Structure 1
Amino acid sequence: MELFALNHAWLIPLVPAAAFIIIGLFFKEFHQLSAGIAVLAGTFSFIMSAAVVMAVLDAGISVEMPFIQKIQWIKIAGMHFSMGVMIDPLSAMMLVVVSLVALLVEIYSIGYMKGDKGYGRFFAYISLFSASMLGLNIAVNFLQMYVFWELVGLCSYLLIGFYYYRISAREAAKKAFITTRIGDFGLLIGILSLQMVFGTVDFMELRHILPVYIAANGTGLLTIIGILLFIGPIGKSGQFPLHVWLPDAMEGPAPVSALIHAATMVVAGVYLVARSYFLFAQLPELLHLIAWLGAFTAFFAASIAITQREIKRILAYSTISQLGYMMMALGVGSLTASMFHLLTHAFFKSLLFLGAGAVMHAINEEADIFKMGGLRKKMPLVFVTMTIGVLAISGLPPFAGFFSKDEILAAAAAVSMPLYIIGTITAFMTAFYMARLLFVVFWGKEQHGHVHKTSYFMQIPLAVLSILAAFAGAAGYVGGFGDWVRFGEAMPEHMNIGLAGISTALSVAAIALAWHIYVSKKYLSDIIAQKMGFIYTVSFNKYYIDEFYAILCRIFIDGIGKIMYFIDLYIIDGIVNTMAALTVYCSRIFSKLQTGQIQTYVAIFFCGVIILLVYTIVFFTKINELAAGGGF
């Protein structure tokens, strides 16, 4: 079974891709059948992924000695590219996370999307989304990864704009697609640069070539290539300043938000950096930049989430902040901490998004948390599961986020105290705004008399994810996650009790503060917002980044467009039109000579003969005169 799982790992993305084709071509109008095909394909991928993990553990496959299958893909004069499957602990972990979350989202969607006209189309898109991310996870080289990378972007466009008849959904889909294209262009240039410099984009080949190249040539050019490669993750993983697409991705259905923000698109950038860490680890200056950009993104997004009112938008900025944590961990040299947080984040963030979707589904898609309230009694299961999710993301023991978050903070403290302080402050803000969301939605005055029942298809994934959000961190810590998913030597699991105690105390204080403001009303939120004044306004308006980009578009893009329009209309078209007019004018003149009448042609011919005779007589007369006068 182990050998079968490894040899047939290519089926893991292929089966969901086949489900997409089958649903899209044949069964899109058959709602329940479409859902059944998608869930069956997702189940197969998860079972195969779990089998791959077991095979990796039993066979002793490591980062240094991965399992690889390759076939020739493209062969052009002077270069060739392969495609295939690369299985190591990192890709195996990602396969399980992606396939499990995708499967649970598909099951949840059976209940959530019930009655939607695009039911079959939704499950077709979800299947393609899962296939794209799973294919990205097992890529053997940058080019193969880039193909699936772009497929992930396409699927996000289709799902964010799923309700295409809404202007807001269409605009959000375009915003996500265009913004991430900026990052993707940088990534593409980086991949082409690798091919030109090293003659290959294969991960294992580059891993062996780089040390020799650096010893001979240094890291100058490689740093530029690394920056280009990192631009892709900046866009895909919502790092500042290309984060603006991610909050607007909420226009898609809630299951889409869970999939995008938890296990697929946004973590693709983190995974790319981790997969190519053999390159980034050679560039300490670039790692320093990644660490600080991640820390800033984490703090920046958390400071916005504190003031937002829409439930999914709060979670979206939370995702940006947590991705910043993961990037910071990679920047300070701890791939293990980053991937551990990616694992736990996938569970508690998908739980929170699906819980938010259940709340909105129950109260007619209301998104403003201050128009909810008192739902803990009417939706007890959702309340309990979301509470677990909030405690997990807040980093309270023994929930999953406690172990992964504190491992990141410990790694940051070992490298840079300023980074650790930023991360700790961010942890405090995270606990506060997540507790704010929980208390406002489930406590307070009831504002909805009738609440729609939550489907069992929606309840089952919430229950499973809550268990994972509660215990996955402890299981990974005890089970030696760092011995398995790592870069370099295995690091024994240990916890800095002092740092963990500080972050836990701050999280408890943040939750208590949120309770006093939003439940006991000891401090009134409106008064606090008023006293904060300009700071609150700037945070609520997301630092006016979107407005700034809009101004840039109007000034530069629209301005350049007007200049190019002028050049096209008056210069290029002017030259072309002038040449055309001159041609027409000349043709009209010459057309006078082409009357089609034989008489005219004979007359012209006769005139030409006369002119020629006159010229000949004059010429010879002149010759005779010169001869008579001795001119020769």
Structure 2
Amino acid sequence: MNTTTAAVLVPLLPFAAAALILLGGRRAPGFVRPLAVLPTLASAAFAVLVAVRQDGGEPVEAATRLAPTGNDALPIELALHLDGFAVLVAVLVAVVASCVQIYSTGYLRDDPRYPSYAALVSLFTAAMLLVVYTDDLVVLLVGWETMGICSYFLVGHHWETPAARAASIKAFLVTKLGDVPFVIGILALAADAQTFRISDIAAGLTSTLSPTTLDHPTLIALLLLAGVAGKSAQVPLHTWLPDAMAGPTPVSALIHAATMVAAGVYFIARLLPVFASSAAALVVLAAVAALTMLGSALAALAQDDIKRVLAYSTIGQLGFMTGALAVADREAAVFHLLTHGAFKALLFLAAGVLIHTAGTGSLAAMSRMRGLKGRAPDAYWTMTVGLLALAAIPPFSGFFSKEAVIGAAEHAAFDPEHGIPAAAGWIVLTAGLAAALLTAAYAARLWLVAFHDPVAARTEPVPPGHQTGPQLSAVLWLLAVPTVLLGLGYRVLPEWFDDGDLAPTLTTSVLATGAALLGGVVTYAAWRRAYEGDGPVDPAPSLLGPLHGPAEEGFRLDALYAAAFVRPVRAAARLVRFLDATVVETYVRGAAGAPGLLGALTRRAQTGNVQTYLSVMASGALVLAVAAVLAAGD
């Protein structure tokens, strides 16, 4: 089997599994779990095979024409472009999806809607793999939108609950809000570059022999950024992600780790020359990244629901990735994407075990989790590993990848080159160091409040929980391995990428690690003060002070959007309804009533009485005669 065939099978296998489950899942429920797990595992195996064969060398390309567009220079093609970035991200997606499918067989074993869930997860996986491998913008858009509709159904899996219904609609609408300018940006980019092929666009913009020139690089970059902000939950289109926690926890791991939210970052990495063509676009990208990193970290520090903490954490870590792209370092961005995919999937799935052990989803609040350190030891220890990676404590993977981002920002700030504005470097550097402190603070708070709250354990009884299957613990320990070791990839990943330097530097390593340790120590001190007092053992109120309330509510952006968009739209809808009912309907009824009235008058004239007809005729003749006499007299 050649490399191209193996690459085609990577997205095709989970797509076929989704089709088979949807067609026959209800008739043969016993086959759903094998169909959900085995094709995804096979897809992961083929993804690894493709990566081994590609081995960071020259890209493997293949293409076949799908449809004409009316312009022979702009056909839509089913094209593959397998470079080091694509093959490694595909391995991450397939492995995380396999872990989620295995985990779900135990986590949702009693769910009556498991067949549809498994099919949607498989389709979601196929769509993301298509986005990773494709070299055509239109085909990428197909995978992009397929992920969006799958996300809508998966977030709303528990549609009988109002929270799930509202969250699914919100996720769909907010991401579509970004997708509209995204589609316009793709068409504008293709029109300027005269091709839909991603690799040709990137090569043309970086070529020194016959460079491609975009007529509107800033406009195109900002249009594309709007779609990326929606899909990757960046400010200001990030508000859907915390609410998406209403979906099953494995869905959170799938969407928030390596798949949907990472698609936007991966897209910019593939088309980074487009953004690098505009210094203004890079500065805007840096500002978005900085606001995302800091705002999400403050919000995470104030949340009580463990899944919302992790959701805001995902938003912030994606901000680090976009920050690396803002300083034109896609190697650091994809490096952090890979490590984040491992440790964030671990954290979400460990949180799922904690919620499952507690016995009810309502105990997702950290302040109500009691006795879980001893009742779920696997989740406790693996979550500890994941939080250390999230806080970027060496030698865990998050330290090396986050250090690569901050190091790239430092280089751009002090030694700007190739048109990268120094302002972008300074914005990302300062925001990154501040976010490193806040990240360690909310990671330490989560660990302390969720697992080390003896006051609640003594004062409230521990409710009976559910037993978790062995597959859940096995998946956690499997993901713990890359969470610990993947950071060492800084030695070999440059060979797979663009030969960039991912090694940590002394200055930024000391600053970032010092900031993380400071955040952890300050949080622990505040927790100890709360522990020795009479109130709840939560350091967040004392750490955030007056910011605690706004941060807990996501800085009330939802209320702002409701005032700016939702209420005016509803008011306009009420006005339209009023006009339709009182004005348009009146004209419609009048248009129907007038002929009826004329018909009634006509019917009165048709009495069938001959004498009446003769009288009318005589009267008419008399009127005509009088009129004729008067006319003759004039």
Pairwise same-fold verdict (TM > 0.5): yes
Instruction: Give the whole-Å Cα distance in 2 for the aligned partners of 1:230 and 1:149.
Output: 14
Distance 1:491-1:80 versus aligned 2 partners, 3 A rule? closer
**What code does the residue aligned with 1:470 have?**
V
Give per-residue Cα distances to partners, 1:314-360, cap 9 Å, x unaligned: 00000011011111111111111110000000000000000000011
Contact 1:341–1:401 (CA under 8 A) maintained in structure 2: yes
Deviation at 1:437, TM superposition (A): 0.9
Q: Say what the alpha-carbon RMSD is for the aligned residues.
A: 3.2
Distance 1:216 1:12 in 2: 34
Q: Deviations over 1:612-631 (max 9, x none)?
A: 99699989x97xx99xxxxx
Question: For 1:435, what is the secondary structure of its paired residue?
Answer: helix
1:460 pairs with 454, 470, 474, which one? Answer: 474
Distance 1:295 1:558, change over 3 A: same
Structure 1 residues 251 and 616: CA distance shift in structure 2, 3 A: closer
Counterpart CA distance in 1 for 2:27 and 2:117 is 11
Match runs of 1:285-304 below 5 Å:
285-304=280-299
Aligned position for 1:229: 224
SS in 1 for 2:393: coil
Instruction: Name the structure 1 match of 2:580.
Output: 568
Which residue, out of 35, 38, 42, partners 1:37?
Answer: 35
Segment of structure 1 superposing worse, 113-122 or 197-206? 197-206
Please say if residues 19 and 38 of structure 1, whose CA atoms lie closer than 8 Å, have aligned partners that are also in contact.
Answer: yes
User: Is contact 2:396–2:485 with CA below 8 Å preserved after alignment?
Assistant: yes
Q: Amino acid of the residue matched to residue 308 of structure 1?
A: Q
Local SS of the residue matching 1:9: helix
SS in 1 for 2:233: coil
**What is the aligned counterpart of 2:130 among 132, 135, 153?**
135
Q: How many angstroms does 1:608 deviate by?
A: 12
How many Å apart are 1:542 and its aligned residue? Answer: 1.8
Task: Write the letter of the residue equivalent to 1:52.
Answer: V
Residues 588/550 of structure 1: CA separation in 2 closer, same or farther (3 Å cut): same
C-alpha contact 1:517 1:523 (8 A) present in aligned 2: no
- Summarize the Cα distance change of 1:592–1:225 in structure 2 as closer, same or farther, 3 Å threshold: farther
Aligned residue in 2 for 1:73 = 67
**Alpha-carbon distance in 2 for matches of 1:381, 1:197:** 54
Superposed CA deviations along residues 113-171 of structure 1, whole A, max 9, x for unmatched, are: 12122222221121111111111212222211111111101111111110111111111
Aligned twin of 2:393: 396
Q: Which moved more, 1:412-421 or 1:570-579?
A: 570-579
- Kindly indicate whether the alpha-carbon contact (under 8 Å) linking 1:444 and 1:519 is maintained by their aligned counterparts in 2: no
State the TM-score, normalizing by the size of structure 1.
0.89
Work out whether residues 12 and 48 of structure 1, in 8 Å CA contact, stay in contact via their aligned partners in 2.
Answer: yes
Residue 515 (1) aligns with residue 512 (2): no
**Contact 1:31–1:119 (CA<8 Å) still a contact in 2?**
no
Preserved contact between residue 286 and residue 427 of structure 2 (Cα < 8 Å): no
For the pair shown, the structure with the greater C-alpha radius of gyration is 1
Q: Distance in 2 between matches of 1:327 and 1:212?
A: 24
Q: Residues 583 and 196 of structure 1: is their aligned pair in 2 closer, same or farther, counting only changes over 3 Å?
A: farther
What's the counterpart of residue 487 of structure 2?
473
* Cα shift readout 1:435-461 (whole Å, capped 9, x = no counterpart): 111122222324526443332110111
Equivalence for 2:50:
52
Q: Distance in 2 between matches of 1:414 and 1:55?
A: 33
User: Which of residues 9, 33, 39 is equivalent to 1:11?
Assistant: 9
Q: Kindly indicate whether the alpha-carbon contact (under 8 Å) linking 1:219 and 1:283 is maintained by their aligned counterparts in 2.
A: no
* Cα distance in 1 between the residues matched to 2:322 and 2:263: 12
Structure 2 counterpart of 1:558, from 570, 591, 605: 570
2:89 to 65, 90, 94: 94
Contact 2:204 2:211 in 1 (8 A): no
1:101·1:347 contact (CA, 8 Å) conserved in 2? yes
Q: Deviations over 1:520-551 (max 9, x none)?
A: 86776568726854222221222111222233
TM-score by length of 2: 0.88
The answer on whether the counterparts of 1:97 and 1:343 sit within 8 Å (CA) in structure 2 is yes
CA distance in 2, matches of 1:528, 1:494: 34
Indicate the SS of the match to 2:298.
Answer: helix
2:349 aligned with 1:354: yes
Contact 2:78–2:134 (CA<8 Å) still a contact in 1?
yes
Is the Cα–Cα contact under 8 Å of residues 516 and 523 in structure 1 kept in the other structure? no
Q: Matches of 1:46 and 1:601 in 2, distance apart?
A: 95
- More divergent stretch after superposition (199-208 vs 381-390): 199-208
- How many residue pairs get aligned? The number is 611
Distance of 2:400 and 2:387 partners within structure 1: 15
Confirm or deny that 1:436 pairs with 2:445.
yes
Shift of 1:602: 8.6
Distance 1:169 1:311 in 2: 17
Identity of aligned residues (%): 31
Alignment of 1:355-374 (within 5 A): 355-364=350-359, 365=361, 366-374=363-371
Structure 2 gaps of 5+ residues are: 413-424
Deviations 1:183-217, CA, capped at 9 Å, x for gaps? 1111122223334545543323434665799x999
After superposition, residues 253-292 of structure 1 pair within 5 angstroms as 253-292=248-287
Decide whether the 8 Å contact of 2:347 with 2:386 is kept in 1. yes
Amino acid at match of 1:560: A
Contact 2:321 2:336 in 1 (8 A): yes
Counterparts of 2:199 and 2:515 in 1: how far apart (Å)?
43
Shift of 1:377: 2.7
1:118 to 113, 117, 132: 113
Gap change, CA 1:16 and 1:520, over 3 Å in 2: same
Q: 1:483, 1:492 within 8 Å by CA — same for their partners in 2? A: no
Correspondence list, 1:158-557, <5 A:
158-207=153-202, 221-364=216-359, 365=361, 366-415=363-412, 416-445=425-454, 446=457, 448=462, 450-474=464-488, 476-479=489-492, 481-486=493-498, 490-518=499-527, 529=541, 533-553=545-565, 555-557=567-569
Which residue of structure 2 lines up, in the alignment, with residue 147 of structure 1? 142
C-alpha distance after superposition, 1:362-398 (max 9, x if no partner)? 0113101111144323322222111110111111111
SS in structure 2 opposite 1:10? helix
Q: Does the 8 Å contact 2:527/2:539 carry over to 1? A: no
Instruction: Specify whether residues 589 and 347 from structure 1 end up closer, same or farther in structure 2 by C-alpha distance, changes over 3 A only.
Output: same
**Equivalent residue, structure 2, for 1:24:** 22
**CA 1:506–1:43: 2 relative to 1, 3 Å:** same
- Give the CA deviation at 1:512: 2.7
